[in-house]
Amino acid sequence: MKPLKAINDLFRHNQPLEAQISGVFKRFFDKGWYILGSEVGSFEKEFAQYCGVEFAIGVANGTDAIELGLRALGVQAGQKVALVANAGGYGTIGINAIDAVPVYVDVDATTFNMDVKSLEAVLDKQDIKAIIVTHLYGNLANIDEISNLASSKGIKLMEDCAQAHGAYRQGKKAGSWGDLATFSFYPTKNLGALGDGGAIVTKDATIAERVKQFRQYGWDQKYRSTLCYGRNSRLDEIQAAILRIKLPLLNEWNARRSAIAGLYGALINHPRIILPRVSGADHVAHLYVIRTGQRASLSQHLRASDVPHDIHFPVPDHRQPMFLDRFSDVVLPVSEVLCNEVLTLPCFPEMNDEEVNWVAAAVNKWIP
C-alpha cells in the first residue's frame, strides 16, 4: 500500500474530474465573462435548492461570509454575539471585523458543539444580538433547540456550515434553520472549490438583497452605493463552474465519508482514546476527530508510523495571543479540555478500506 500523503488528498479527490474541470477553462476563454456571470447565478440557484432555502449569494470565502452575514443581520459595533471558542476562530474574526463583541459559550463534551444549557446561561446574563452556531467537524449542532431558543428571545441566528455541507436532521439541511447560514468552499471542504469561495444562504429576501449589496461595494446599482461597509467579496465564475460540477456528487461523497468514520469506529480500540459519535445523516464526517489526554505521545507515534494527522483546533478563541488578557476571566472547561485533546485522522471520500484499516492499526499499536 502506498503511504497516505495527507489527511485529505486533494489530488485524488479532484483527479477523476480532470476532464470536466479542464473544460471549464475552455468555456471561459470562449465566453470572456469572468465575474458575476451565468455560472455564479446558476450555482447560487442550485445550491439554494440543495440547502432547501430560497436564496444563495456567492462570496469570496467563508470568513467574508460570516462578516457580511453579521452585517446583513444588523449587528452593529459594540453589540454582543454568542459563539463557541473551539471552532478555529473564524466566527471571532468575523465579529472582530465589524467591531462587535464575542461572547463565548461552552460546548458539549460528546458532540463538541454548542451546549444549549451554557447558551441559556449566557442569554440570561447578557444582551446578545446574534448567535453563531458552528456545525463542527460535519456534525449538526443541537440546532432545533437553539433555533427555538433564539426565536423565543428575538435573537438573530447564524449557522456556520463550513464543515457541514449536506448534513440534515428532520428533513432540514444545514443552512436552513437560522436567519441565514454561511458556507466555505475552501478546497478541503466536503464541497470544495479549487481556490477560495464561500456563500450565504437564507430564506429572507431582504437579507439576501443586503448581502448582494455588501459583497459588491454597497451598490444598489452600478457605481451607486447605498450601504456603508460594502466591499469586494465575490465568488468568481471559474470557482462557481467547478462547484456546479461537484455539487451533484456531494451526497455520494458524504456517504463515503460517513462509511469511513463508521469503519474507524469499528476498528479503533484503545483504552486511552475516545472516539467521536458519528451516526446518521446529521453527521457528514468532514473530519474524523478523536480525543486523548496524551496527544503529544500519540502524535509522535503517528509521525513515526508515517500516518498523516492534524489538530482541529489547538487554541480556543478566548486564549488566542491577539487578545492578551482581554478574556482572562472567561473559563470554558469543556472547550479548553477538548482543544488540548483533539487529534484528526485522515478522512476523505477516496480513501479505501485498506487505508482505513492501516491507519486504525497504527493507532491501536500506540503505547503511551
| 132, β-bridge pairs | 158
Mean pLDDT for the chain overall: 97
Q: Tell whether the model's pLDDT for residue 89 goes beyond 90.
A: yes
Is residue 31 predicted with pLDDT exceeding 90? no
Strand segments, DSSP code E, in 1-92 are 55-59, 80-84
pLDDT at 1 over 90: no
Query: Which strand (E) or helix (H) includes residue 101?
Result: strand 101-105
Q: Per residue in 133-187, pLDDT tens?
A: 999 999 999 999 999 999 999 999 999 999 999 999 999 999 999 999 999 999 9
Domains of the chain: 10-248 (3.40.640.10), 249-364 (3.90.1150.10)
pLDDT at 339: 98
CA atoms of 76 and 327, how far apart (whole Å): 21
Q: Which residues are CB-contacts of 272 (< 8 A; sequence separation ≥ 6)?
A: 292, 293, 294, 298, 366, 368
Looking at the chain, how many residues does it have?
A: 368
Name the band, by pLDDT with cuts 50, 70 and 90, for residue 25: confident
Look at 15-29, 70-84, 101-115, 304-318 and tell me which has the smallest mean pLDDT. 15-29
* pLDDT for the residue numbered 30: 83
Give yes or no for residue 26 having a pLDDT over 90: no
Question: What helix, strand, coil percent values describe the chain, rounded to 5?
Answer: 45, 15, 40
**Contact by Cβ (8 Å): 156, 75:** yes
